[in-house]
Chain A
Amino acid sequence: GAVVSQHPSWVICKSGTSVKIECRSLDFQATTMFWYRQFPKQSLMLMATSNEGSKATYEQGVEKDKFLINHASLTLSTLTVTSAHPEDSSFYICSASRTGGGYTFGSGTRLTVV
């Protein structure tokens, strides 16, 4: 079946540094990648949508200069949290959609900013 590999699964970084999260579709071409953030005991909140080769579309209230999304190929999308602060600590999950429908989720990245 369709698999999205997300790395790292967890990361601890110092406040002010940047962290990159990768999502790769292993056996299909991800036409669109969605990035979500989930705080404890809350639901998945969509941050942005990216299509291969074009700029990401960010949801209202999400800072595009802080959360940089790159979708350079049909199998790879990255989310970079720049100048991370403790309030950015969260569970980040990517989801890829593919031609014909369906959504495949990555395993998530637990980010802790200290």
Chain B
Amino acid sequence: QKEVEQNSGPLSVPEGAIASLNCTYSDRGSQSFFWYRQYSGKSPELIMFIYSNGDKEDGRFTAQLNKASQYVSLLIRDSQPSDSATYLCAVVGGGYNKLIFGAGTRLAVHP
């Protein structure tokens, strides 16, 4: 079983819609969870992080964490074509607080 799992997509949504990205993780002891966006050929950009169960909102983005279900999600409201990218879920685990990435979900927002 992979440590961090994501649906590779592509997830295609129309402009203005809500995009929902999901991630599950295997280490029940994980405490910190991150969402990154990566454009082709570029380094990941942090969107947001979440530590506590529940929702965390930042602008058009909402992260949701459910530690009991080992599930973390990212909602993007009012999706824009510029949001088209690969979204990476990352979980801190193991020694040295390693950041372990999922395979990423490709999001395509079409006009």
A contacts, CB < 8 Å to B: 32, 34, 36, 42-46, 49, 51, 57, 91, 93, 95, 97, 101, 103, 105-108, 110
Q: Which 8 A-B pairs have the closest CB atoms?
A: A43-B103, A44-B101, A105-B43, A108-B43, A49-B96, A43-B101, A43-B104, A107-B43
Name the distance in Å between B66's Cβ and chain A's nearest Cβ. Answer: 22
Q: Which residues of A contact B41 (CB under 8 A)?
A: 91, 108, 110
Tell me the number of A-to-B contacts counted with CB atoms below 8 Å: 44
Inter-chain contact A105/B44, CB cutoff 8 Å: yes
Q: A105-B43, A106-B43, A107-B43 are in contact. Are A46 and B96 (CB under 8 A)?
A: no
B95 CB within 8 Å of chain A: yes
The interface centre, meaning the residue of A45, A46, A101, A105 with most chain B CB atoms within 10 A of its CB, is: A105
Chain A: which residue is nearest B45 at the CB level? A105
Inter-chain contact A34/B98, CB cutoff 8 Å: yes
Inter-chain contact A108/B42, CB cutoff 8 Å: yes
Q: Which residues of B contact A57 (CB under 8 A)?
A: 95-96
B17 CB within 8 Å of chain A: no
A97 vs B32: C-alpha distance in the bound complex, in angstroms?
13
Name the distance in Å between B48's Cβ and chain A's nearest Cβ. Answer: 12
Inter-chain contact A46/B43, CB cutoff 8 Å: no
Name the distance in Å between B105's Cβ and chain A's nearest Cβ. Answer: 10
A32 vs B100: C-alpha distance in the bound complex, in angstroms?
15
